[in-house]
């Protein structure tokens, strides 16, 4: 099972799922599996969803994804 930390509905109707992992857990097998699941979910949504995994409080990567 995989539950993201944040789900947001963007103004254009797109759903953004954000998962946060501390630096000590970002490269674990579990985190890698979570990224694969999230990326697959976003890809299969046909543009209706986006996924982002953030670490080290680098929230600016979300802005880059949305920009």
Query: pLDDT tens digits for 2-58?
Result: 789 999 999 999 999 999 999 999 999 999 999 999 999 999 999 999 999 999 888
In whole angstroms, give the CA distance from residue 62 to residue 60: 5
Residue 40, number of CB atoms within 10 A of its CB:
11
What is the pTM assigned to this prediction?
0.84
Helix (H) or strand (E) holding 63: helix 60-66
Strand partners, 49: 15
Q: Report DSSP state, residue 60.
A: H
> How many CA atoms does the CB half-sphere of 7 hold within 13 Å?
9
């Amino acid at each position: 099972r995989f539950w993201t930390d944040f789900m947001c509905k963007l103004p254009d109707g797109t759903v953004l799922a954000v998962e946060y992992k501390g630096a000590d857990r970002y490269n674990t097998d579990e985190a890698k599996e979570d990224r694969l699941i999230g990326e697959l979910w976003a890809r299969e949504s046909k543009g209706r969803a986006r996924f982002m995994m953030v670490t080290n409080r680098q929230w600016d990567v979300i802005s880059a994804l949305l920009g």
